[in-house]
Amino acid sequence: MRAVVLRTPGPAATSLVLENLADPSPGPGQIVVAVAHCGVCFHDVVVRNGTLKAGVTMPLVLGHEIAGHVVAVGFGVTEFREGQRVATTQRSHVCGGCRYCRSAREPLCADAVFLGDIGLNGGYSEFVLLDASAVVVVPEAVDLRSASVAACAVGTAYHSVVAVGLAQPGERVAVTGASGGVGIHAVQMARAVGCEVFAVTTSPGQVGALRAAGADHVVCHARGSDFSADMRALTGGEGVDVLIDCVGTASFQPARKSIARGGRWVMVGQLSGDFVPFNPAQLFLKGISMLSATSVTREELRRCLDMLARGSVRAMLGESLPLTDAARAHALLEAGAANGRLTLAVAA
């Protein structure tokens, strides 16, 4: 099979190399999926450039946002059959028996293998090997390109806004990095819940798209600048009830100053390797809860696919590129030039 392999961290143009690898074969409890589409996430960028090191083992094949067709089924698999359309949960394996797996929190499983971070088994390839428990069936009403981003871009938005942020109708929800893949879907999720939505972006060209996605207010600011005065002005000095932070260090202080008393601050993304100092009293004196969102659960992925099928949210897709243009996809992400979620068209 063809696959884009990363052997050492480096620039996209030189470190992402198209190679021929052996086709995978399923063991007990496993399936092989022919990849139709694979989303390109900024997570892939920070793995490729060496910023993210935890849990990463090279050489590897990037890509955790996958949809395609089942082409082989291992012994003991009864839930799936060849030809079915499926989407991944971002993981190729969880143990299934620990306290996290038993309580539907499988992204926290100590044995979880995040697709694209370990080994030559990610979505930037024609085939991928997965535990049967790592995929769900795609409804007929959802095309496979949209399904490919359901777990990460749509699912992480659902997980952060609904499951962790506990956003309620009528509350104010802000999203930093709102024009990114997760951010623009978080805007949609907050709108679907019935919240007043504040989109924060450094991309003036994305203002219209963010309003179309459901943002009531768009705060456009220079990269690294303090946007909190604008947020307070828009909320009568109070701030927002829930802040979904898709940026991390660069937006840490302005995000903190934009949250209302008793608000929830949900950490979703970190675009750099930088640390940030802060005084904990700045949180507890206002009763602010600092939370974090991991990746989508299998059940949450089913809900997201159902939302896509019903049209209550839609996949905000950007350019579709061939597998051979993986390096260009990374360049577009790094330049902030992606309009919607980029995907690779991989089908063999």
- Which tokens in the block code for residue 183? 């951010």
Q: Calculate the dihedral angle through the C-alpha atoms of 207, 208, 211, 213, rounding to the nearest 10 degrees.
A: -110
Q: What is the pTM of this model?
A: 0.88
Which burial class, exposed, middle or buried, applies to 166 when counting CB atoms under 10 A from its CB (0-12, 13-18, 19+)? middle
Report yes or no: 90 and 64 within 8 Å, Cβ to Cβ: yes
At residue 178, what is the residue type? A
Question: Pairing relation of β-strands 217-220 and 196-201?
Answer: parallel
Rounded distance between C-alpha atoms, residue 61 and residue 92, angstroms: 13
Q: 234 vs 117, 219, 229, 231, 341, CA distance in Å?
A: 40, 9, 9, 5, 28
Say if CB 200 and CB 178 are below 8 A apart: yes
pLDDT (tens place) for every residue of the chain, 348 residues total? 999 999 999 999 999 999 999 999 999 999 999 999 999 998 999 999 998 898 999 999 999 999 999 999 999 999 999 999 999 999 999 999 999 999 999 999 999 999 999 999 999 999 999 999 999 999 999 999 999 999 999 999 999 999 999 999 999 999 998 888 788 999 999 999 999 999 999 888 889 989 999 999 999 998 888 999 999 999 999 999 999 999 977 888 999 999 999 999 999 977 777 888 888 888 888 999 999 988 899 999 999 999 999 999 999 998 999 999 999 999 998 887 777 789 999 985
Task: Find all residues with CB under 8 Å of 95, minimum gap 6, and list them.
Answer: 101, 109, 110, 111, 112
- DSSP codes joined into one string, 188-206: HHHHHHT-EEEEEES-GGG
User: What pLDDT, on the 0 to 100 scale, is given for residue 235?
Assistant: 96
Q: What is the DSSP letter of 296?
A: P
Q: Which residue is listed with tokens 């004196």?
A: 285
For the chain, domains (ranges, CATH) are 2-152+296-345 (3.90.180.10), 166-292 (3.90.180.10)
CA distances from 254 to 228, 230, 231, 292, 311 (A): 5, 10, 9, 18, 34
Q: What is the pLDDT of residue 348?
A: 57
Check: CB of residue 88 under 8 Å from CB of residue 294: no
Q: Which residue, among 255, 245, 236, 183, has the nearest Cα to 214 in the 3D structure?
A: 183
Q: At 344, is the secondary structure helix, strand, or coil?
A: strand
The DSSP output letter for 80 is: -
Q: How far is CA 201 from the centre of its chain?
A: 17
The residue type at 88: T
Query: Which neighbouring-strand residues pair with 91?
Result: 114
pLDDT (0 to 100) of residue 133: 94
As given in the structure block, the two tokens for residue 313 are 């949210």
